[in-house]
Amino acid sequence: MHFRLFLFMLPFMITSCGYRKWLGPSETQRRLASSSLQQQLREDDSAAEQVAIEKLTSLHYYTMIGHKNLKDFDEVLEFESISYQNLMATRIQIDEIEEFITAEYAQILNSKEHKKLTHFKSTLVKFAGLSRLHLVSLENLLETLALSDLIPSKVVELGRKELEEHYKSLQLINDFQIHEKNIDHLSHMIDFKFDSNEKKFAPSINKMGSVNGSEFPSKVWSLTFDDGPTPSSLKIVASLKRNNFKATFFPLGLKMGRHSPEAKDLLSSGMEIGAHSYSHRDLTKAGNLSLDKEISEAIQKVGEQHKQKVGLYRLPYGAGMNATHIRERIAENDVIHVFWSVDTLDWMPQSAQKIADRTLKLMKKSSKDSGIILFDDTHKRTLLSLPEVLNYLKKDGRKVCTVGQVVQIMNQGAPIICQ
């Protein structure tokens, strides 16, 4: 019950947080849309009815998506869950449509055109009469418009089975799929914008200077490959391309050379490239001169050959982030450090199946179904373990982005479109 109350309060909370500015259409846009509908109402009743039905259909779709996520949320009761984020996104969309229709109704009332008023009411009644579920979608709206008397019977609580059946049938409709995707995108944006409008990641000696995947929005994964390039790297690239995925590669400086065909091919593959030291030594045991070579020179070398600025760096073994002088050196080079949240341990000799099993198990453990996966692109076993992992990533609406894309998305609050 508390959660229903909370859900009811969401639009007010969201409005007070200022989300409208970036989530929905602006006030001017809304007025323009409203006046154009008014124009249509004057010109053609059937066109107006079509617009009204479109709006009511959207309201119905979003309401069903909302109910589905509400049921899911009631099961997990986690505010960081995907269902909670989806709920917030859905509420915002519903609120938008309800405001739009309310504004239209106010205009018609003010115009005192009885024919239009009758037509408006009959459109609502017609829509409500389609099914009990359509009636549920209109409940709040009719109450706001003080038109509850139009409801032929009292709306009752939706049963899980009834909702699931209806939801399944809706999922076959293209238009409904678009509405679902819209909620998915909005949900990610809410995830990013919740804390602040400041950049989440930037080169720095503080926490914002490194990313480890735990901050990733739900259902977003990054594949990363260290220690290459080797002949395996190119086979891995081919496998990724077959699946339309992009990954982040962290090659070693010493393997960058004009005479290395693997380096040339990897850098021109369209994959994201970071740097991973010069020779893969443990930097906690390196002196100042060595640090120059392992950090600055490696970044420079990869960047020069790649003909692009390198924005990401990964320490060998992830060692050294507790040493201020190493963090300073990384920040000075204007790069963000990249850890990982799923360690495949593929550096050890073992079967490809073992690597795939471990990776999937760790991925399934992630509460937000997101993170950074660490592979090496130096072993055949890694290549052989990939298909199973890539297949898993293709399912259930997961998105595969490069680390740089996620950093950019999270800093700018843009929707997730990576593949």
What is the identity of the amino acid at 12? F
Instruction: Count CB neighbours of 318 within 10 A.
Output: 15
Does residue 388 touch another protein according to CB under 8 A?
Answer: no
Task: Kindly tell me which of 11 and 228 has the beta carbon lying closer to another protein.
Answer: 228
Does residue 36 touch another protein according to CB under 8 A?
Answer: no
Does residue 276 touch another protein according to CB under 8 A?
Answer: no
Q: Going by C-beta distance under 8 Å and a sequence separation of 6 or more, which residues neighbour residue 307?
A: none
Contact 199, 215 (CB under 8 A): no
> At closest approach, how far in Å is the CB of 302 from another protein?
21
DSSP string, 6-63: HHHHHHHHHHHHTTHHHHS--HHHHHHHHHHHHHHHHH-HHHHHHHHHHHHHHHHHHH
* Integer Cα distance of 341 and 176 in angstroms: 34
> At closest approach, how far in Å is the CB of 327 from another protein?
7
Choosing from 8, 348, 353, 397, the residue that interacts with another protein (CB under 8 A) is 348
* Integer Cα distance of 357 and 387 in angstroms: 12
Does residue 78 touch another protein according to CB under 8 A?
Answer: no
Task: Kindly tell me which of 283 and 406 has the beta carbon lying closer to another protein.
Answer: 283
Choosing from 55, 116, 255, 381, the residue that interacts with another protein (CB under 8 A) is 381
Which DSSP state fits 417? -
Does residue 205 touch another protein according to CB under 8 A?
Answer: yes
Give the binding range for another protein (CB under 8 A) out of 37-45, 105-113, 167-175, 337-345: 337-345
Choosing from 164, 175, 282, 334, the residue that interacts with another protein (CB under 8 A) is 282
Does residue 286 touch another protein according to CB under 8 A?
Answer: no
Instruction: Count CB neighbours of 157 within 10 A.
Output: 7
What is the identity of the amino acid at 43? E
Does residue 200 touch another protein according to CB under 8 A?
Answer: no
Does residue 349 touch another protein according to CB under 8 A?
Answer: yes
Give the binding range for another protein (CB under 8 A) out of 53-61, 232-240, 257-265, 316-324: 316-324
Structure tokens at 262: 């693997």
What is the identity of the amino acid at 61? Y
- Interface positions with another protein (CB under 8 A): 205-207, 210, 212, 282, 284, 317-324, 327, 339, 343, 345, 347-351, 358, 361, 379-381
